[in-house]
Structure 1
């Protein structure tokens, strides 16, 4: 699936995060993709660098931000901050 990371077609790029061994550099590149479907697909990836994941929390696409907020790799202190801001 990793080979799709640089495909010109966004639908195919969104398949690249299905590779559990996607290199962090490629995951970061996909997190900065102009297409929200690609950013959303990479948000929960275990190899996504923390800075990229945190950047996706403020993504203009609500779906991308939600996927980043639901990532199991988001550190607890950031999860707590999100919950506090939401009043929960």
Structure 2
């Protein structure tokens, strides 16, 4: 079964309030097996454009990635992020090649 990934590019406008979102999303991410592969850090945009922060979260399956995003717990956390950050988020199925 292919893994699932959240791939996000974002900008945080209020760091203190964003910490509340981070604390709130920890439980749903853990419940669905989410594991951070990239969480900010150094990066260079070499083609196109992207917001300044990159996050990649791996899930045990594509379905788990979708279910986590749609879960009541994550949707409650997401409300804390709205208005204090901007994000482009893609949920993608991994390739097992």
Tell me the TM-score normalised to structure 2 length. Answer: 0.28
Larger radius of gyration: 2
Tell me the TM-score normalised to structure 1 length. Answer: 0.30
Higher helix share: 1
